[in-house]
A and B are shown apart, each in its own frame.
Chain A
Amino acid sequence: MMAVPQYSTSPGIITAAGNERSTQPLTVAIAGNPNAGKTSLFNALTGLRQKVANYPGVTVESKTGGWYLAHEVPPARVLDLPGLYSLDATSLDEQIARDVMLGKAIGVADPDVIVVAVDATNLVRNLYLATQLLETGRPIVVALTMIDLAERSKLEIDIDKLTEALGVAVVPVVAKQRRGLHALGKAVLDAASQGSVPEPRWHFSPDLEAQLALLSGNDNSRRYSVMRELLSDEQPQEIKRHRVLEVARKQLERIDPNWRQEPLIARYRWIESVVNEAVHFRGNGRPNTTERIDALVTHRIAGPLILLLVMLLVFQTIFSWANLPMNLIDHVFSALGDTVRSHLPPGTFTDLLVDGVIAGVGGVLVFLPQILLLFFFISILEDSGYMARAAFLMDRLMRGVGLNGKAFMPLLSSFACAVPGIMATRTIESPKDRVATIMIAPFMSCSARLPVYTLMIAACFSDRKFLGLISAGVVIILAMYLLGISVAVVVAWLLKATVLRAPAPPFVMELPPYRVPHFANVAHAMFERAGLFVKRAGTVILAISILLWALVAFPRRPGSSPSEQVQQSLAGQAGRAIEPLIAPLGFDWKIGIGLISSFAARETIVSTLSIVYNVGNDSKEQPASLIDALRNAKRPDGSPAWTPLIALSLMVFFVLACQCMSTLAVVRRETNSWRWPLFMVGYMLVLAYVGSLLTYQGGRLFGLS
Chain B
Amino acid sequence: MERLTSIGERLGGTVRYVSLTVLPHGAVARVAAIEGSGACIQRLMEMGVVPGASISIVRSAPLGDPLQICLRNYHLALRSVDAERIKVHW
Contact = CB atoms under 8 A, between A and B. Distances in A.
Interface in A376-414: 388, 391-393, 395-397
A304 interface: yes
Interface in B42-88: 42-48, 50-53, 58-59, 61-66, 68, 72-79, 82
A261 B41 contact: yes
A122 B47 CA distance: 11
A508 B73 contact: no
Contacts of A395: 61, 65-66, 77
A507 B39 contact: no
A300 interface: yes
A506 B40 contact: yes
Contacts of B77: 388, 391-392, 395, 507-511
Nearest to A84: B46
A508 B76 contact: yes
A294 B73 CA distance: 15
B1 interface: yes
B63 A397 contact: yes
**Tier of interface size on chain B:** 35 or more
A89 interface: yes
A298 B1 contact: no
A511 B68 contact: yes
B1 A128 contact: no
A86 B46 contact: yes
A85 interface: yes
A325 B39 CA distance: 48
Given A88-B46, A508-B47, A396 B41 contact: no
A342 interface: no
A124 B53 CA distance: 10
Interface residues of A, number: 44
A124 B73 CA distance: 9
A505 B39 contact: yes
A86 B44 CA distance: 11
A289 interface: no
Given A507-B78, A510-B75, A511-B77, A89 B46 contact: yes
B23 to A, nearest CB: 18
B62 A505 contact: no
B75 A396 contact: no
Interface stretch (A208-216, A264-272, A569-577, A598-606): A264-272
Contacts of B51: 265
Given A85-B46, A88-B42, A272-B52, A507 B79 contact: yes
A125 B72 contact: yes
A75 interface: no
B45 A393 contact: no
Contacts of B42: 86, 88, 90, 264
A480 B78 CA distance: 36
A258 interface: yes
Contacts of A125: 47-48, 72, 74
A387 to B, nearest CB: 12
Given A261-B41, A393-B62, A508-B47, A124 B78 contact: no
A303 interface: yes
Q: Point out which of A128, A300, A392, A395 has the most chain B C-beta atoms below 10 A from its C-beta.
A: A392
A301 B37 CA distance: 36
A505 B59 contact: no
A396 B46 contact: no
B76 to A, nearest CB: 6
B82 A507 contact: yes
Nearest to B33: A258
Contacts of A397: 63
A290 B70 CA distance: 12
B87 to A, nearest CB: 13
Q: Point out which of B1, B46, B47, B68 has the most chain A C-beta atoms below 10 A from its C-beta.
A: B46
A506 B82 contact: yes
Contact of B47 (A85, A257, A391, A393): A85
Interface in A227-270: 256-258, 260-261, 264-265, 268-269
Contact of B61 (A257, A298, A505, A510): A298
A259 to B, nearest CB: 10
Contacts of B62: 300-301, 303-304, 393
A88 B62 CA distance: 33
A121 B72 CA distance: 11
Contact of A396 (B37, B53, B65, B82): B65
A511 B74 CA distance: 8
Contacts of A85: 43, 46-47
A256 B61 CA distance: 38
23 contacts: A125-B47, A125-B48, A256-B1, A258-B1, A261-B1, A261-B45, A265-B45, A268-B50, A294-B68, A300-B62, A391-B77, A392-B77, A395-B77, A396-B61, A396-B63, A397-B63, A503-B39, A506-B39, A506-B40, A508-B77, A509-B76, A511-B74, A511-B75
Given A86-B46, A509-B66, 7 more contacts: A90-B39, A257-B3, A264-B45, A269-B50, A505-B39, A511-B75, A511-B76
